Chain A
Amino acid sequence: MRLARKRLRVRAYRKSLQLRCVVDRTSQVKEGDLLLFSTQRNEQIRLPYFLQYYRDMGVTHFFIVDNDSDDDTQDYLMDQPDVSLWHTKGSYKRSRFGVDWLNHLQSKYAHGHWCVVVDPDEFLLYPFCDTRPLRALTDWLDSCSIRAFSAMLLDMYPKGGLNDQPYVAGQNPFEIASWFDSGNYTISRNYHHWNLWIQGGCRSRVFFPDQPERAPALNKVPLVKWDRRYTYVNSTHMLLPRGLNLVYDEWGGEKASGILMHAKFLDTFGAKAQEELARSQHYAASAEYKAYATQLKENPEIWCKWSERYINWRQLEILGLMSKGNWA
């Protein structure tokens, strides 16, 4: 395990040579600041809401790797006062879907900070997020000596066809994609890395009903008190050292956890799926995107009679998707 971790760190360093710094505002980072790391490509339309969402939560600096966008993303990000931007033409796939790049940036800049690692379509919810800033959570986690905070990916989707309601920049995506599957998730344990492997939700139900084993993993650990020795192994699904993956209780209790609301299924998704399929830069030979592409031809409706409509985090906690644990 130690060797595996070392190997990943060397790899991250090697891949970091592909990064070219565009704007470096890292000198603004102060001790105790909350940082956010993200890789993205052609997400201009999502960025305004994304940045605002995390700023309101209390994130003070954004570290963004732009994987060769050809829209206005780069200009837009350069103008933001709290963004440090790197650019790369490197292969998304060969950097293990951006993980290597971010591992490197984190080991360089995030040591001793709480940091959020999310994609531009992932929005973190944690208990009491409507009344307490993220700082309250991280202070509490510090006081309990907890280093990692779990947040399951929850796929949100609209009612009706995907293309029926267009998304505009700056809009809250969950005004459109406000529905989710509440109770069809399956969990198994990864005894090698000690993490849970969660699958299910609307992606299993609609896109992988015949091969559930290929449905994407939904377990994520996006909030970590970073140490330069840590590394993400596989997206933000798991970490090394593997003790960080023990974000769940094994003796019947509940630890505190959150939700990453996933605004993937919007009208932008069709074009994205096509593009990603053409680039084939995604996991498992883009099997996921192939499955989407075949389904998407029919402008499918993911919504079903038993879908739940999102209200707030308390609803998700009652449904058992996240938990307050002993935070009150």
Chain B
Amino acid sequence: MSVGIVMLVHTAFGRAEQSARHWAAAGCPVVIHVDKAVPRVRYDAFVAALADVPDLKFSKRYRCEWGTWGIVAASQAASELMLNSFADVQHVYLASGSCLPLRPVEELIEYLADRPNVDFIESATTSEVPWTVGGLDMERFTLRFPFSWRRNRYLFDRYVALQRRLKVKRKVPNDLEPHMGSQWWCLSRRTLSSILKDPDRMVYERYFKRVWIPDESYFQTLSRQYAVKIESRSLTLSKFDFQGKPHIFYDDHLQLLRRSDCFVARKIWPHADRLYEAFLTDAAGAMKKTEPNPGKIDRIFSKAVERRIRGRAGLYMQSRFPNEDWENGVTAAPYSMFQGFTELFEDFETWLARATGARVHGHLFAPDRVEFAEGQSAINGALSDSPTLRDYNPEAFLTNLIWNTRGERQCFQFGPDDNQRINWRVAKDPNAQISVITGAWAIPLFKSNFNFADIRSIAAQLQKNESDHMDVLRSTYAKARIRIWTMAEFIEAPMEPLQGILDEIGRTKLRRLSEAPRMVDLSGFGQFLQNLKNQGMHPYMMGDFPVEHGFETPQEKPRKPYLVR
């Protein structure tokens, strides 16, 4: 009773020799297949180097190109040789030259001896796995693939397109259900010989020769016909990245590999000396007799693929610069933008900071200065408060700010007087929470002491900016959480909207709002608006303000803060 190792080798012969010797030393017969593309001289040298190893044979050479039949033909030939030459082989393990046994071979032999009729081969129906690369899943069984994907990509693609147009559909012989899975399997003598001695073998071969990547489907499909018990998993730890290339293991994976309890890993970087040293020499490094547990390695590699495909949301850097609308997150974290609140409330920023614990900035996009919280001259990431630097690329300023302060909620004020270039970026950002009191820009003008003619022209400009901004926020492309009130609406019932905003920020320390910010004194504001109207400039953003508002109820004392229990 023993395990036969079939090794497919095409490069890194030194390492292949090392692992072949390792297998052989543990009493496993080894059959090696060397790619036909390897020069004769190299091959002869390799054969000579292994001449002293007993129970080691070389099988007939085939040309093995990725995605083609050659690899299956090679495995077939080598398996046949193995089964015919070594009668006591009960399981055949398919490995490659860059595979590395992680556990003592005796443990593998024992493990397999305990499971004499079990076949370890990952085998799943195509419809149920999303592994495939290049969009060919079921089609790899129903189309023909005579052209090399590596060398003749153009012809490959054209021919696939043509067949799709012609609705070519090959029939799978004998109504087999196509299965796919890792090409690295370990089959019992019984199953393997049934596959190799099948009376219909030629029929299947003819069919699979034109299937795309048959090494991932030939044995996987046919073993379903004969196996008594299939364990649909590979005993070889092998992870693939999003292009279908195997991940490579390096010296720094040593601890991970040790803890994985897998029998064999691939693919190992040929220069990973420490790995080879650790796993091929100290046979006594016995691990527990546990089931393979590649979970942790799985997580690391799937995270790597995730990073390559989706990246970190809100990050713009040298190797991640997404096209507009392809960002997977315009910014890194939720943030809030307030327009009109500091104008309407005297102490809005301090109140908001107190109520939410967030970092509350002033007008970050003000024309003369970046108003960072607490008047700082720079902020996380050494982001400077220079308006020139900011205006050089305001979108990047915003995304940098949110990226740099990950983990801390940012709030900032905005207004029609600020740099308007970020409006679209913010409106399209699902992370943005935008609250606007339209028309509140008029309050500072109302309080100011400018010439009325100046006030009129400033008001006209601000109103235009705000109106353009509101068009952006109301467009169908806007994805932010947007709330817009006219000023008249808002001062009718300020508590409800404020509560809503705080709830959404979600960090309120108190269930209910106990303290509202102090509203500025608005007596006379209605008249001020009327004056603007009388000058021919109609302010409409703030909603309807009665002229009498200030006249009839002249408030002598400033209002008291709201107190709601």
Interface residues of A (CB under 8 A from B): 128, 131-133, 135-136, 139-140, 143-144, 150-152, 181-189, 196, 198, 202, 204-205, 209-213, 219, 247-257, 304-308, 320-328
Contacts and interface: CB of A to CB of B under 8 A. Distances in A.
B319 interface: yes
A253 B307 contact: yes
Contacts of A144: 243, 245
A186 B392 contact: yes
B388 A140 contact: no
Interface string B245-260: 1011011100000000
B161 interface: no
Interface in B258-287: 269, 271
B404 interface: yes
Contacts of A211: 388
Sorted nearest first, the 7 A-B pairs with minimum C-beta distance are: A183-B381, A326-B308, A257-B319, A328-B304, A183-B404, A131-B252, A252-B328
Interface string B378-389: 111111101011
B322 interface: yes
20 contacts: A131-B250, A132-B252, A135-B271, A182-B381, A184-B382, A184-B384, A187-B321, A210-B388, A212-B388, A247-B318, A248-B318, A249-B308, A249-B319, A251-B326, A254-B320, A255-B319, A325-B304, A326-B242, A326-B305, A328-B304
A247 B318 CA distance: 8
Contacts of B321: 187, 189, 196, 248-250
B396 interface: yes
B323 interface: yes
A22 to B, nearest CB: 33
Nearest to A327: B304
Nearest to A219: B318
Contacts of A308: 382
A255 B320 contact: yes
A250 B311 CA distance: 11
B519 interface: no
Nearest to A181: B382
Given A209-B388, A253-B309, A328 B247 contact: yes
A253 B318 contact: no
B131 interface: no
B400 interface: yes
Contact of A252 (B327, B381, B397): B327
A135 to B, nearest CB: 6
A249 B310 CA distance: 10
A33 B379 CA distance: 45
A304 B380 CA distance: 11
Nearest to B406: A320
Nearest to B241: A326
Contacts of A250: 321-323, 326
Given A328-B303, A328-B304, A132 B319 contact: no
A304 B383 CA distance: 10
A132 B271 CA distance: 10
Contact of A320 (B245, B250, B393, B403): B403
B311 A247 contact: no
Contact of A249 (B311, B379, B396): B311
Nearest to B302: A328
A325 B326 CA distance: 17
A320 B304 contact: no
Contacts of B379: 306
B300 interface: yes
B86 interface: no
B61 interface: no
A186 B317 CA distance: 9
A187 B388 contact: no
Given A213-B392, A250-B326, A257 B242 contact: no
B541 interface: no
B380 A252 contact: no
Given A152-B317, A253-B320, A257-B318, 7 more contacts: A128-B252, A132-B252, A248-B319, A254-B307, A323-B317, A328-B247, A328-B300
Q: Which of B245, B305, B312, B318 has the most CB of A within 10 A?
A: B318
A128 B304 CA distance: 13
Contact of B317 (A181, A321, A328): A321
Contacts of B247: 328
A143 B305 CA distance: 16
A140 B248 contact: yes
B315 interface: yes
B316 interface: yes
Nearest to B250: A132
Given A205-B382, A252-B327, A323 B320 contact: yes
Nearest to B303: A328
A322 B312 CA distance: 12
A276 to B, nearest CB: 25
Contact of B403 (A139, A183, A198, A323): A183
A58 B20 CA distance: 29
B111 interface: no
A306 B389 contact: no
Contacts of B154: none
A320 B269 contact: no
B301 interface: yes
Q: Name the residue among B316, B323, B381 with the largest chain A CB count within 10 angstroms.
A: B381
Nearest to B239: A328
Contact of B312 (A187, A306, A320, A327): A320
Nearest to B393: A186
Given A253-B311, A327-B304, A209 B384 contact: yes
A227 B381 CA distance: 38
A107 B212 CA distance: 39
Contacts of B307: 253-254, 323-326
A135 B271 CA distance: 9
Contacts of B382: 181-184, 202, 205, 304, 306-308
A326 B404 CA distance: 23
B319 A150 contact: yes
Contacts of B271: 133, 135-136, 139
Given A212-B392, A320-B315, A251 B322 contact: yes
B319 A188 contact: no
Given A250-B323, A254-B311, A209 B392 contact: no
A58 to B, nearest CB: 10
B248 A256 contact: no
A82 B322 CA distance: 42
Contacts of A305: 378
Q: Which of B247, B271, B317 has the most CB of A within 10 A?
A: B317
Contact of B308 (A184, A255, A321): A255
A304 B392 contact: no
Nearest to B396: A186
B252 A254 contact: no
Interface centre among A135, A186, A256 (most CB of B within 10 A): A186
Contacts of A320: 312, 315, 317, 403
Nearest to B246: A143
Contact of B378 (A143, A150, A304): A304
Nearest to A247: B319
B389 A198 contact: no
Given A184-B384, A253-B309, A304-B378, A322 B318 contact: yes
